[in-house]
Amino acid sequence: MTSLVAVSSHLPDTVPVDALKETLGISDQQVRRFTRLYGLDGICQAPDRSEADLLLAAAGKLEGLAGQEDRVRYVIRAKGLRTTAPYPVSPVRDVCDALGLRNARTFAVADHGCATGLLAVDVAGMLLEADGDPDALALVLAGDKTLTPFSQWVADVSIMSEATAAVLVGPGGDRDRMLGYAARIHGRDDGLIDLVGDLAKEAVRIYQGALEEVVLAATEEAGISVADLALVLPHNVNRVSWTVAAKNLGISTDTIHLDNIALSGHAFCADPFINYRSVRDLGLLKPGNHYLMTAAGLGQAFAAMVLQH
């Protein structure tokens, strides 16, 4: 059974939203919406650090990796964006070299937007199970650099962060076991993902229903109900969307860990793992607790994963 052996995160220094007005081309009214309504206060940025630097800053904190490098069979780059570095630069190879991961095969998964991190964990678990080596590990690296205007914000939805996360995945164990996973893509045949015009209206129309669908599918596979969840670890898109989701799912907003929306901004597909690291550090997860990681990405991709601590 797939398990999370260790999770770490790296949150660079933050800048206030109003300091990004010129960079993003947003108005005072939009700043007020992002801060007062959406709860986005500081956005993690590291303009002087490369993507490899940011990923390595997270992976270097992983408990249990040092001395176990030869056990890592796969390094999976979970990409919220298809392209995050110019050819022939390979941040994931740079991270592997720096960490001494000599036996690892490396590849990326993408096209689930900010839900790709959960996809990467599921893929890692399937590969490890197929290999049949109970000691093998996979490393998932999540988080992106905001190199272009397209990647820096989603208009009137969220502002993107350069925080990162690293997840060490094993094929067994009882620390954080994955009990259920569900993913759905409600995309278009032409592949368009930019949220403008009719595409934006359609995305808003289906968002809450599609999110609820994957949450219910994941909890059903895990053999529990939503009411059995001790915590929900979301993607940090904005506070409003999760207030609505809590009402639709019939759970208290106190169940959803929203603190990092204000502290870091929306870090692509690293958010659920950043939130996991936070609740572990705060002592909010107890042995036996069921919890949910969930996310949605551009292209109308949705995912949810149930784990037991």
**Shared-domain flag, residues 192 and 120:** no
pLDDT band at 194 (very low <50, low <70, confident <90, very high): low
Same domain, 34 and 18: yes
Q: Which of 111, 137, 170 is the last residue of a domain?
A: 170
Domain end among 126, 145, 170:
170
Average of per-residue pLDDT across 10-27: 88
Q: Do 39 and 124 sit in the same domain of this protein?
A: yes
Q: How many folded domains does the chain comprise? A: 2
Mean pLDDT of 156-174: 90
Does the pLDDT of residue 151 top 80, yes or no?
no
Specify whether the CB–CB gap between 160 and 268 falls below 8 A: yes
| Residue finishing a domain among 134, 152, 170 | 170
pLDDT per position as a tens digit, 99-120: 999 999 999 998 888 999 999 9
Average pLDDT over residues 240-244: 91
Q: Which of 239-243, 260-264, 287-291 has the highest mean pLDDT?
A: 287-291
pTM of the shown model: 0.93
Q: Do residue 45 and residue 143 come from a single domain?
A: yes
Query: What CATH number is associated with residue 116?
Result: 3.40.47.10
* Average pLDDT of the residues in 224-238: 95
Residues 182 and 282 in one domain: yes
Q: What does the mean pLDDT of the chain come to?
A: 90
Q: How confident is the model at residue 87 (pLDDT cuts 50, 70, 90)?
A: confident
pLDDT above 60 (res 218): yes
Both 258 and 208 in one domain: the answer is yes
Residues 6+ apart with CB under 8 A from 138: 72, 73, 74, 75, 76, 124, 125, 127, 128, 168, 169, 170
Give per-residue pLDDT as tens, 42-58. Answer: 898 999 999 999 999 99
pLDDT of residue 192: 47
Q: Over pLDDT 70: what percentage of the chain?
A: 94
12-30 burial: b if 16+ Cβ within 10 Å, else e? bebeebeebeeebebeeeb
47 and 120 in a single domain? The answer is yes
Identify whether residues 153 and 269 lie together within a single domain. no
Residue 180 backbone phi and psi in degrees, to 5: -160, 145
Q: Supply the range of the domain harboring residue 220.
A: 177-308
- 65 with 161, same domain? yes
